[in-house]
Amino acid sequence: MTNTLRINVLGDFSIVDGDGKMVRLPTRKSRALMAYLALHPGKRFDRSHLSNLLWGDQDERFARQSLRQALSAIRSAAGPNAIASDDEYVLVPKGTFRSDVEDFESFARQETLTAAERATAIYTGDLLQGHEFEQHAFDEWLQIERERLKDIARTNLANILVRRSRDQDMQQAIAAARSLVKLDPFDETAHRALMRFYARQGRIPSALHHFQDFSALLRRELGVGPDEETIDLYQDLSANRVAQPPLDTLADYAFVLEQMVHCVVVTDPSSQIVGWNKAAEEQFGFSKDFMFGQSPTLVYAPKRDQSLADNVFRRACEHGQWSSRVKLLSKDGKECYQTRTVAPLYDRGGALIGGFGTGMPS
């Protein structure tokens, strides 16, 4: 086994040794103590400080005994070298642990989009989620550190959002905006960004519905309404929805077609999905909300190439329909074959407004 252990404290707590085996500590307080020490590598802590940190409500003698038991449990589970101590001091030697906090902060400091997205992937939840103990010293430290790391996560997500807003495909930008509003439900800038991204996908009803949900949240939790800028955006999108009958017509078609029993996908003229029915959800494992704005070739094996969707739609328009037996991929990587038929959709005036595809097992 290698010397360095991996400790994860963002969201769920875990320790993994160099061979990939889980290291299990018996109590929440032993896990909290281990995390506190591992996040301060090389720093010596007085035993009285540590006993007061997590057992401040106990008599000093019993608090020190509880500390000794916790340290013993850590050594027993993580190895005798995980903790260094003497009669007065306790520390985790540098290099003993590698923490997800260390990796998160390292990636967040870098200036590339790849690093920012790796930092976001690491930040899976609050620091030591569920490890409050009504111990003033520990809970105060925990709250300060949580907010510090959450601020870094907010800034990092905002950076991703700005960069991804330049993408032609809005899906990654939408994912960043959703993560940001989940992290801070009252961040109106993020909510407005999400509404705009929905609108850029042609999903104006989704943008309007999101505003209504957010407005209800504000009134329920804070007793206030949205900012004037957010209200103005909602009104602009509402007016835009009325001014775009072809989009509404396509949405109406999608609503009807989605009720078919076979897999159905409805696309706009640029081959971006605007309709995805329950049968398709069950077949491929991708939700309707996720597939909006995606290309149908996301489920085409093996290349998932956008040009394939464009070529299929072009042929369907040229010949009235396109049909072929194709290999498809579900979300979990399973392959299946369907006979896919794609046809163009026209409004009553004869204008091309999109297309739809159906799939039957073959």
The lowest-confidence range among 80-94, 151-165, 302-316 is 302-316
Q: What percent of the chain has pLDDT over 90?
A: 57
Residues 327-355: tens digit of each pLDDT: 888 888 888 888 989 998 877 656 788 88
Question: How far, in Å, CA of 169 to CA of 297, rounded?
Answer: 14
114: tokens are 């790849």
Mean pLDDT calculated for residue range 26-53: 95
Q: Residue 287 carries which DSSP code? A: -
* CB contact at 8 A, 42 and 93: yes
Q: Domain residue spans in the chain?
A: 1-164, 184-243, 246-361
pLDDT value at position 303? 61
pLDDT value at position 184? 94
The lowest-confidence range among 141-155, 184-198, 227-241, 347-361 is 347-361
- Confidence at 41, pLDDT banded by 50, 70, 90: very high
Higher pLDDT, 98 or 171: 98
- Confidence at 1, pLDDT banded by 50, 70, 90: very low
- Confidence at 310, pLDDT banded by 50, 70, 90: confident
- Confidence at 78, pLDDT banded by 50, 70, 90: very high
- Confidence at 246, pLDDT banded by 50, 70, 90: very low
Q: How many Cα atoms are found within 13 Å in the side-chain-facing hemisphere of 312?
A: 25
Across 13-62, the runs of DSSP E, i.e. the strands, are 14-16, 22-23, 45-46
* Domain over 1-164 is classified CATH 3.40.50.1820: no
> Does 2 have pLDDT greater than 50?
no
Centre a 10 Å sphere on the Cβ of residue 144 and count the other Cβ atoms it contains: 11
Residues 92-148: tens digit of each pLDDT: 999 999 999 999 999 999 989 999 999 999 999 999 998 888 899 999 999 999 999
- Confidence at 296, pLDDT banded by 50, 70, 90: confident
Mean pLDDT calculated for residue range 3-15: 93
pLDDT value at position 203? 85
> Does 292 have pLDDT greater than 90?
no
The lowest-confidence range among 58-67, 68-77, 282-291 is 282-291
Query: Which residues are CB-neighbours of 234 under 8 A, at least 6 positions away?
Result: 195, 208, 211, 226
Identify the CA nearest to 346 among candidates 249, 205, 248, 243.
249
Mean pLDDT calculated for residue range 284-300: 84
Which of 3.40.50.360, 3.30.450.20, 3.40.50.2300, 3.40.800.10 would CATH assign to domain 246-361?
Answer: 3.30.450.20
Sign of CA dihedral 10, 16, 22, 25: negative
Mean pLDDT calculated for residue range 274-288: 89
Diameter over CA atoms, the chain? 87
For 324, phi and psi rounded to 5 degrees?
Answer: -165, 160
pLDDT value at position 94? 93
Question: How far, in Å, CA of 130 to CA of 136, rounded?
Answer: 15
15: tokens are 């320790």
Q: Residue 354 carries which DSSP code? A: E
The lowest-confidence range among 142-146, 162-166, 205-209, 257-261 is 257-261
> Does 56 have pLDDT greater than 80?
yes
> Does 27 have pLDDT greater than 70?
yes
pLDDT value at position 76? 94
93: tokens are 């030697």
pLDDT value at position 349? 59
> Does 242 have pLDDT greater than 50?
no
Average pLDDT along the chain: 88
The three-class DSSP label of residue 16 is: strand
The three-class DSSP label of residue 25 is: coil
Question: How far, in Å, CA of 90 to CA of 34, rounded?
Answer: 11
- Confidence at 222, pLDDT banded by 50, 70, 90: very high
- Confidence at 249, pLDDT banded by 50, 70, 90: low
